[in-house]
Amino acid sequence: MSGPCAVHRTRVEWIDTGAAGIYHNTTVVRFAEAAEAELMRAYDIPGYFPVAPRVRYEVEFEASVRFGEEVETRVELIRLGRSSMTFGFEVWRTAADGGPNCRAARGSYVTVHVPDKEKGGSAPWPAAWRAALGGRAGSDAGHAH
């Protein structure tokens, strides 16, 4: 990973699974957003989530993760647009016995800056946020998003 990135580690809880004890597909979204929250804290981007709805998600599921297993989710800002951000993520099942880890899911998603919920529509990211993140991700400031 070469752009701003963060890691979130957790254990799969029963609430994260279906009746068979295998993680539910929506759990991956929560894991990715938890890692994204770590990234925003690390880069001092306050107030981000209420003004950054997700407009696109894509996930490839590669392996199951079961109740009680530990996972590590890595998220990276791969593109910073005028009013959008594109993130890539991977969810890894960590081996309890010291063996190799296994990638369980990977994907990407896009958020858009919508500071005024009443008016709607996108707007450029705040300059301070761009300064904190800009030099470290694929930037595309001239492209309207």
CATH classification at residue 32: 3.10.129.10
pLDDT of residue 142: 36
143's CB contacts (< 8 A; 6+ apart) are 81, 82
pLDDT for 145: 34
Cα dist from 94 to 11, 65, 71, 74, 117, whole Å: 10, 10, 5, 13, 39
- Global pTM reads 0.87
pLDDT confidence of residue 141: 39
Domain assignment of residue 34, yes or no: yes
Report if residue 142 sits inside a domain: no
The pLDDT of residue 120 is: 85
Say if 124 falls within a structural domain: yes
Per-position pLDDT tens, the chain of length 145? 578 999 999 999 999 999 999 999 999 999 999 999 999 999 999 999 999 999 999 999 999 999 999 999 999 999 999 999 999 999 999 987 766 789 999 999 999 999 988 888 999 999 999 999 975 444 443 333 3
Residue 144 covered by a domain: no
Distance CA 71, CA 76 (A): 17
Could you report the per-residue pLDDT of 58-93, keeping only the tens digit for each?
999 999 999 999 999 999 999 999 999 999 999 999
Total domain count for the chain? Answer: 1
Give the type of residue at 65. V
| 22 inside domain | yes
- Tell me which residue of 107, 128, 97 sits closest to 54, measured CA to CA: 107
Q: Is 145 inside a domain boundary?
A: no
In this prediction, residue 15 carries a pLDDT of: 95
In a domain? residue 39: yes
The whole domain housing 106 covers: 5-137
Burial class (CB in 10 A: 0-12, 13-18, 19+), 115: middle
